Chains A and B, each alone.
Chain A
Amino acid sequence: NAGVTQTPKFRVLKTGQSMTLLCAQDMNHEYMYWYRQDPGMGLRLIHYSVGEGTTAKGEVPDGYNVSRLKKQNFLLGLESAAPSQTSVYFCASSLTPSSTDTQYFGPGTRLTVL
């Protein structure tokens, strides 16, 4: 099993450009999450999904959109990138919503917005 994979690993955007980050998991997990990681701060939840076709806002959702058309994929979109969105983005998945269940993280996408 590959676990959680993320595409791309690195990306540089100009302000105003758009892009989509792809997260895929092969563990048949229902729950998927997108986080951002900034220097000196913990991971912050952007959006999450409790199943195919569902999405919900996390702590810092502004400027991002997500879609979960297939159970194994969770897409994070930036419609008009801003320098404040320069960050490392992590996707995670878990089998159940319980905090007793492990969240498995992908390797991250490093995004720079100029």
Chain B
Amino acid sequence: GQQLNQSPQSMFIQEGEDVSMNCTSSSIFNTWLWYKQDPGEGPVLLIALYKAGELTSNGRLTAQFGITRKDSFLNISASIPSDVGIYFCAGDPFSGGYNKLIFGAGTRLAVHP
């Protein structure tokens, strides 16, 4: 089946640093989504991208939909301790099906005060 390659798998950074993570696919996606999962909770949507080249921000978070439609990145600026969690990318593989998202394996972020 279709897969998303998400990298890095994990990051351990100092508070205040910027963070960048990305997802790539071998096939075209028509929607890219970025979720965050806190420990013991379900994923929560952070940013949604719907057009190639689109750049969208949500506070300190910025995400972009790649021009080729096969990749997306998420940046977090000036990280704080509450940024800790697992970040997932997800995409709609342009299947025309019912919101059947494909998820990346996640990037686990740890922030050292």
Contacts and interface: CB of A to CB of B under 8 A. Distances in A.
B58 interface: no
B101 interface: yes
A70 to B, nearest CB: 19
B30 interface: yes
A85 B33 CA distance: 27
A31 interface: yes
B1 interface: yes
B11 interface: no
A58 B42 contact: no
Interface in A84-114: 90, 92, 94, 96-103, 105-108
Nearest to A49: B98
Instruction: Please report whether the interface of chain A is mostly helix, strand, loop or mixed according to DSSP.
Output: loop
Interface residues of A, number: 29
Given A42-B102, A90-B42, A94-B99, A99 B92 contact: yes
Contact of B50 (A56, A100, A108): A100
A97 B98 contact: yes
A42 B106 contact: yes
A107 B40 contact: yes
A99 B101 contact: yes
Interface string B40-52: 1111110010100
26 contacts: A4-B42, A31-B99, A42-B88, A42-B90, A42-B102, A42-B103, A42-B104, A43-B90, A45-B100, A48-B100, A56-B98, A90-B42, A92-B42, A97-B97, A97-B98, A100-B31, A100-B50, A101-B99, A102-B45, A103-B45, A103-B99, A105-B43, A107-B40, A107-B41, A107-B42, A108-B42
